[in-house]
């Protein structure tokens, strides 16, 4: 039996409601560019969603709608990650794309050492690797990236360190490093910050800093908001990010 668009919308809304009601407490590693040394539980799906954001630089102004990261726990200690960012230029030029999908990638992530993020003592250590995919109307070409991640937590501070090597979509070698700082994990609302440094052979290097907060408004929902500024080879860039994270169990462990 076929159903119309109203039927599809009702099914989608019912599925979303069920997902929210059965969700586990969100890990909430939005709104960062770096990541943590943890993965979704076996059979869990986690969605990190930025429904709308704003980016401006000397070269362009963009509406980011949406930014998304989907994490699927396919095996204990393993997850698959799909990410991308919708982009709509606010300064439209003749012949330019109205909307685009960029920063697309597909990774596998694996926890090498269970630690504090897995409720065990010591460092949590993980690796993440996979292709950088061509976008739609943006970021043509295929690249690759491999990332080493370490996380440590104390009562007042959690730190995540990322070190990544990559082959850009233009076929050039590059690297990325980032460090995330989070306030006390016991706080439902906590400050967060991130520093990143990125370099490619011909694209130059840039340093970026992010400052914001995370707020666990309910057991199943965590909100985030942040401002990110970057000093690039062509000048200053500013980005405003806001979104939420939740996850739910798709199948039994």
pLDDT category of residue 199 using cuts at 50, 70 and 90: very high
247 contacts 26 by C-beta, under 8 angstroms: yes
Of the candidates 132, 107, 138, 111, the one whose C-alpha atom is nearest the C-alpha of residue 122 is 111
Mean pLDDT of all residues belonging to the chain: 88
pLDDT category of residue 94 using cuts at 50, 70 and 90: low
pLDDT tens digit string along 206-238? 899 999 999 999 877 899 999 999 987 778 999
Give whole-number Cα distances, 184 to 153, 156, 179, in Å. Answer: 9, 4, 16
139 contacts 102 by C-beta, under 8 angstroms: yes
The CATH class that applies to domain 26-247 reads: mainly beta
pLDDT on residue 51:
96
pLDDT on residue 97:
61
pLDDT (mean) for 124-148: 95
Handedness of CA 18, 71, 124, 251 (dihedral sign): positive
pLDDT on residue 10:
42
pLDDT on residue 7:
44
pLDDT on residue 11:
39
Q: How many CB atoms lie within 10 A of CB 128?
A: 21
Token pair for 77: 């200690």
Q: Reply yes or no on whether the pLDDT at 6 is more than 60.
A: no
d(CA 226, CA 228): 7
Q: How many CB atoms lie within 10 A of CB 138?
A: 19
pLDDT tens digit string along 31-69? 999 999 999 999 999 999 999 999 999 888 999 999 999
d(CA 102, CA 139): 6
Domain ranges of the chain: 26-247
């Amino acid at each position: 039996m076929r159903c119309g668009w109203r039927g599809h919308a009702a099914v989608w809304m019912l599925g979303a409601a069920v997902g929210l009601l059965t969700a586990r407490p969100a890990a909430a590693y939005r709104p960062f560019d770096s990541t943590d040394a943890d993965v979704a539980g076996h059979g869990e799906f986690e969605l990190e969603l930025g429904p709308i954001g704003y980016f401006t630089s000397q070269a362009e102004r963009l509406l980011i709608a949406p930014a998304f990261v989907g994490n699927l726990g396919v095996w204990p200690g393993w997850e698959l990650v799909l990410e991308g960012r919708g982009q709509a230029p606010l300064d439209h030029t003749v012949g330019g794309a109205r909307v685009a999908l960029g920063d697309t990638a597909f990774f596998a992530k694996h926890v090498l050492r269970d630690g504090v993020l897995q409720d065990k003592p010591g460092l949590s250590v993980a690796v993440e690797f996979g292709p950088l995919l061509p976008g739609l109307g943006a970021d043509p070409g295929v690249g690759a990236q491999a990332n080493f991640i370490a996380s440590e937590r104390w009562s007042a501070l959690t730190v995540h360190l990322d070190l990544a090597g990559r082959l850009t979509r233009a076929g050039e070698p590059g690297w990325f490093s980032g460090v995330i700082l989070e306030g006390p994990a016991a706080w439902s609302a906590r400050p967060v910050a991130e520093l990143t440094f990125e370099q490619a052979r011909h694209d130059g290097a840039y340093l970026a800093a992010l400052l914001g907060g995370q707020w666990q408004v309910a057991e199943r929902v965590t909100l985030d908001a942040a401002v990110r500024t970057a000093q690039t080879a062509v000048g200053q860039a500013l980005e405003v990010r806001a979104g939420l994270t939740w996850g739910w169990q798709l199948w039994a462990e």
